[in-house]
Amino acid sequence: MRWRNIIHVMGLLILSLGLMMTFPLIVGLYYGDKSLFPMLSSILITSLCGVFMYIGSRGITIESISTREGMGIVSFSWVAVGIFGALPFYFGIDSCSFTDAFFESISGFTTT
């Protein structure tokens, strides 16, 4: 398996997740709730991790992805998106453990 390909694609995915977190931030600012710090810190952490993963694997050209690499990308991305998606819950709710935040994040992404 070519790990740099997996890290490259995951970096792009995590960076896009960080950028997509700006929409809930805008909605939270519009309605005046207390989500400014949790969302800003989550956007910063998620985007920086995505950028570092992307920069760390720069210079490669992905011509093809094998089935094994594709399964690795999907598997690792679900876990990574769940972890980074849990950050706003973890930072924003006082009585929320990271396990509960991770559960809420995964259930939100899978719409269950």
Distance between CA atoms of residues 55 and 52, nearest Å: 5
Distance between CA atoms of residues 44 and 26, nearest Å: 15
> How far apart, in Å, do the first and last CA atoms of the chain sit?
32
What is the chain's Cα-based Rg? 15
Q: Please say if the pLDDT value at position 18 is more than 80.
A: yes
pTM listed for this prediction: 0.90
pLDDT of residue 1: 81
Note down the domain range covering 63: 3-109
The count of domains in the chain is 1
pLDDT grade, residue 2 (50/70/90)?
A: confident
